[in-house]
Structure 1
Amino acid sequence: MDIKPLRYFQAIAEANSFTKAAERLHVAQPAISMAIKKLEAELDLTLFHRHERQISLTDEG
């Protein structure tokens, strides 16, 4: 398992935003989104609730 998606996950959880996490990590936002989707598929879990431009952690997240 690559550790980069876990760093992305932590940054998103702390910032409560994919965009703010991307800015902080100096990475394109779509790259973070794709990495998290891939991580969720790999773990077979949903890590974030996504609501109209807002996110929150799921119980698993």
Structure 2
Amino acid sequence: MELRHLKYFLAVAENQSFRLAAERINITQPSITRQIQDLEEMLGARLFDRTPQGVKMTVAGESLAPHSAGVRLP
């Protein structure tokens, strides 16, 4: 796991949207989606439930959130 994975995770969690998170940290939406998928594969758990209304953290995502609290977003 790299620091960027936690930054991307935190951006999606705070914005509850992959698109808005990507805009906030100035990367493309497919890039942030791929990085979150990579992180989910590394951890062996889904971090977000994806819905047409946005994203919501899963229990695994909520467990990871406190560990990313010190990460600073741009």
Q: Shorter-normalised TM-score: what interval?
A: over 0.9
Secondary structure class of the residue paired with 2:31: helix
Give the fraction of aligned pairs with identical amino acids, expressed as a percent: 41
Residue type of the alignment partner of 1:59: V
Q: Is residue 2:50 matched to residue 1:59?
A: no
Q: Answer 1 or 2: higher relative contact order, Cα 8 Å, separation at least 6.
A: 2
1:52 Cα offset (Å): 1.9
How does the TM-score come out when normalised to structure 1? Answer: 0.94
* Structure 2 unmatched runs, 5+: 62-74
Corresponding residue number in structure 1 for 2:15: 15
TM-score, structure 2 normalization: 0.78
Cα RMSD between the aligned structures? 0.9
Unaligned 5+ segments in structure 1 are: none
